[in-house]
Structure 1
Amino acid sequence: MSASGSADLQADAHHPNWVWRGYRAFLRTVFVFWMDYRARGTDRLPESGALLISNHQSYLDPLLIGVPLKRPVSYLARHNLFRVPFIGWTLRNTYVMPIRREGGGTESIRESVRRMKQGFLVGIFPEGTRTASGELNDFKPGFIALARNAKLPIVPIGIAGAHRVMPRGTVFPRRGRVRVVFGEPLPPEEIAELGQRGRETEFVDAVRRRVQSCCDEASAWREQA
């Protein structure tokens, strides 16, 4: 990317384009009406770039995380999707990052860190797959490399109810109730301490506990009349 392109991308981190703003406004309206959607804790997000780590209940999760925010969240998608008419245009204009399968994990780490350094939020789901039960599964340790390289805050997120609104095998969301909770960020100092070699298991467990706490809060909120 050119220097001017990098500057434009950095500006977009806090001033997203009209395409992203339009999708966000439309989806938020639909989610509130169809899913009684609510989110809280967004004021906890840092002004800098950050790594958002969430549980994974449905294909809707990236959207459920993004619609309450005024800043875009970047996710990774296969590069061949960017060649599909309209879909590719949408992905490019909503800050999704293309990743080549043959590039392996190194390319995805490099691109994700670059985005965060430019002020973007980058979202990942360390469970690696959607949960059918809604319970939080074990985390894969892949996010540790991202955290070590970015040296930026980690924000835990809990989603409740998405697995009922859009369970596996469904194409369209059902009526329901969804809650999302953004937790207190882990500061870079704590990440640097946990990110030391030999402490990988402790690091994964610490982040998972934070996400579990957000999930518990979201579930309790969802159950309230």
Structure 2
Amino acid sequence: MKLYKLAKSLVAVAFYPLYRIQVVGKSNIPKNGPVIICSNHISNMDPPVVGITSPRTIHFMAKEELFQKKGIGALLRNIHAFPIKRGMRDRNALRNGLDILKQGEVLGLFPEGSRQKTGEIGEGLTGVGFFALRSEAVVVPCAIIGPYKPGKRLKVAYGSPIDLTEFRENKSSAKEVTDYIMESIRQLHKFHQE
């Protein structure tokens, strides 16, 4: 936890002035209880930016390859990231994510899985729907509105929690829930872009 706070402080000191970060809707993140923050993905800088703009500690999933690099893997684990194998159903990653939520913590996800360099918001992978349906977590959409250019304003907008009661009661599919969450991110992005 100490390393996370130190890393967060150092990144904040560097990034806030560099990208003139503006944060909107931070109060939409519940102060307690399990939360899934779902954001669009435009850059490798997205995880640290969501991390420094959230008032709570976030546990991020990161591609397994990063954990195999000397030094980086240990650092990632110390700042609460955990690995996921891409392109396949990774039961360990799913279990880790659910455990984090059961402990009342915050899980950070980029449902698109990979960066969308055009700035458009792509399709979401069904993992986010799985976590939303299998937990009692509150889902908070997040829109990062770039570009990441020094001196240009970068906006991070957190939307109102998404009500998934109906989806849970109707035993909706993970894909249906994922599509709904992605549409919420799109609407949030569109609203704050204008």
User: Shared fold by TM > 0.5?
Assistant: yes
Match of 1:25 in 2: 9
Q: What is the aligned counterpart of 1:210 among 165, 184, 189? A: 184
Displacement, 1:86?
A: 3.4
Q: Take 2:124 and 2:87, find their aligned partners in 1: how far apart are those partners?
A: 24
Q: Take 1:72 and 1:50, find their aligned partners in 2: how far apart are those partners?
A: 11
Displacement, 1:28?
A: 1.2
Alignment of 1:127-142 (within 5 A): 127-142=112-127
Residue 157 of structure 1 pairs with residue 142 of structure 2: yes
Match of 2:168 in 1: 192
- Residues 21-73 of structure 1 show CA distances to partners (whole Å, capped at 9, x for unaligned) of 11111111211111001112121112111111111111111111110223221
Residue 41 of structure 1 pairs with residue 25 of structure 2: yes
Tell which structure's C-alpha radius of gyration is larger. 1
Aligned in 2, Cα 1:125/1:78: closer, same or farther, shift over 3 Å?
closer
Higher relative contact order (CA 8 A, sep 6+): 2
- Residues 73-96 of structure 1 show CA distances to partners (whole Å, capped at 9, x for unaligned) of 111235564464432332122111
Q: Is the contact made by 1:158 and 1:181 (CA closer than 8 Å) also made in structure 2?
A: yes
- Residues 148-182 of structure 1 show CA distances to partners (whole Å, capped at 9, x for unaligned) of 21121111111100xx32xxxxxxx6442210011
**Equivalent residues, number:** 193
Alignment of 1:1-225 (within 5 A): 17-46=1-30, 47-78=32-63, 81-82=66-67, 84-99=69-84, 104-161=89-146, 164-165=147-148, 174-187=150-163, 189-193=165-169, 196-197=171-172, 199-200=173-174, 202-220=176-194
Q: Is the contact made by 2:157 and 2:188 (CA closer than 8 Å) also made in structure 1?
A: yes
Q: Take 2:174 and 2:88, find their aligned partners in 1: how far apart are those partners?
A: 24
SS in 1 for 2:188: helix
Q: Take 1:84 and 1:186, find their aligned partners in 2: how far apart are those partners?
A: 36
Structure 2, gaps ≥5 residues long: none
- Residues 5-26 of structure 1 show CA distances to partners (whole Å, capped at 9, x for unaligned) of xxxxxxxxxxxx2211111111
Q: Is the contact made by 2:129 and 2:176 (CA closer than 8 Å) also made in structure 1?
A: no
Aligned in 2, Cα 1:33/1:48: closer, same or farther, shift over 3 Å?
same
Structure 1, gaps ≥5 residues long: 1-16, 166-172, 221-225
Runs (4+) off by over 6 Å: none
* Fraction of identical pairs, as percent: 25
Q: Which has the higher helix share?
A: 1
